[in-house]
Amino acid sequence: MVLNSLIKYKMNKHIKLFPLVLLLCLLYAFNNKENPTSEQPTTIAYYQFYHIKDTTQKAKVFSEDFILAFNTEKSLYTSQTRLKQDSAIQAALKQAETKNNDVIDMGVILPTTEDDIYVDKGKLSVVKNHSQQSYLIDETTAKTNWKIEKDTKQFLGYTAQMATATVKGRKYTAWFTTDIAANFGPWKLNGLPGLILEAYDDNYFIKFTCTKVVTTGGFQNITSVNIPTKIISTSLKEYERMRKAEAEGLGTNDFGSGITIDKVTSSGGGNNGTASKKKFTMNYPLELTN
């Protein structure tokens, strides 16, 4: 969840790391700009995501805000929390460089999802953003076999209808509305004849809830739903091999990876004589199948 410790990075003025970091940020932003033929979103749906990752500690719920930007044929699902946090970090770096400070107060840093999920005419691709680089992984997933039920309810002023299906090894209930003619939804849930406004697994350990739908303005600077043109294509197996090598100290690391937080664990007791905290264990992953 929230990392409550205050993170401060002290840099040697003579090394001049600030210009390097700013340059990396600018290059990263430039590399992710679309070409002139990029397709803009016509609608943005905002979602709150909840996930109980450790079923032995159900009170600890991971939460994150997401954005689903889409038009008639394409969609982009990305972490709003990550976008805001990255923007704040870059602003802090720029301010420190301007004032020639050698200490950067990064404040509270949240663990966020690195994946951007693109859907283009039914084809799903995942872009993993790691260490100032983006990696494209195409998924060859079968079409979701949704069973549309008769149950309906009102959701955000829309009439939503229930549907059920198994996605990535887990059974989901989804509520979609044909009032918004788009066969998209949060994460990898799509393929219904209307926008998915809410979805949850059969244990209620995973839940996606739409909080608002915007059709004009408020697009959070998302100007395209196209996959970035300058990107490294790879497979999930190769990507996981690279991340494992990094974790074992065999890969290369840069300043960007030094401030990335993938997960937070707690273990050991304090000095106040209280019982040791139970260690976090990921025993309820989002996906059971690739």
Q: pLDDT by residue (tens digit) across 152-183?
A: 999 999 999 999 999 999 999 999 999 999 99
pTM comes to 0.76
DSSP 193: S
DSSP letter string, 126-181: EEEEETTEEEEEEE-PPPP--EEEEEEEEETTEEEEEEEEEETTEEEEEEEETTS-
Instruction: Please give the radius of gyration of the chain, using alpha carbons only, rounded to the nearest integer.
Output: 21
pLDDT of residue 85: 87
Domain membership flag for residue 47: yes
In the chain, % helix, strand, coil (3-state, to 5) comes to 15, 35, 50
Residue 250, pLDDT score: 61
240, part of any domain? yes
Query: H or E stretch including 21?
Result: helix 17-31
Give pLDDT, residue 151: 98
Residue 87 lies in a domain: no
90 falls within a domain:
no
What is the rounded distance in angstroms from the CA atom of residue 30 to the CA atom of residue 8?
Answer: 27
Phi-psi region of 271 (alpha: psi -120 to 50; beta: other; left: phi over 0): alpha
| Amino acid, res. 152 | T
Q: For the residues of 201-266, what is the DSSP string, one character each? A: ETTSSEEEEEEEEESSS--TT----SPPSS-EE--HHHHHHHHHHHHTT-S---HHHHT-------
Taking the C-alpha atoms of residue 173 and residue 147, their distance in angstroms, rounded to an integer, is 10
Q: What is the pLDDT of residue 276?
A: 58
Backbone angles phi, psi at 177, to 5 degrees: -125, 130
Q: Residue 206: inside a domain, yes or no?
A: yes
Mean pLDDT by 10 residues, the chain (290 residues): 38 38 41 54 96 95 96 95 86 80 74 94 92 90 91 97 97 98 96 97 98 81 88 94 85 38 37 61 91
**For the chain, what is the domain count?**
1
- 94 in helix, strand or coil? helix
Residue 19 lies in a domain: no
User: Cβ atoms within 10 A of the Cβ of 164, count?
Assistant: 14
Q: Which range marks the domain in which residue 141 is found? A: 37-81+111-258
Q: What is the pLDDT of residue 275?
A: 52
The residue whose two tokens read 């497979």 is: 235
Helix (H) or strand (E) holding 31: helix 17-31
155 forms beta bridges with 158
CATH number assigned to the domain comprising residue 72: 2.50.20
| Predicted local distance difference test score (pLDDT) of residue 39 | 87
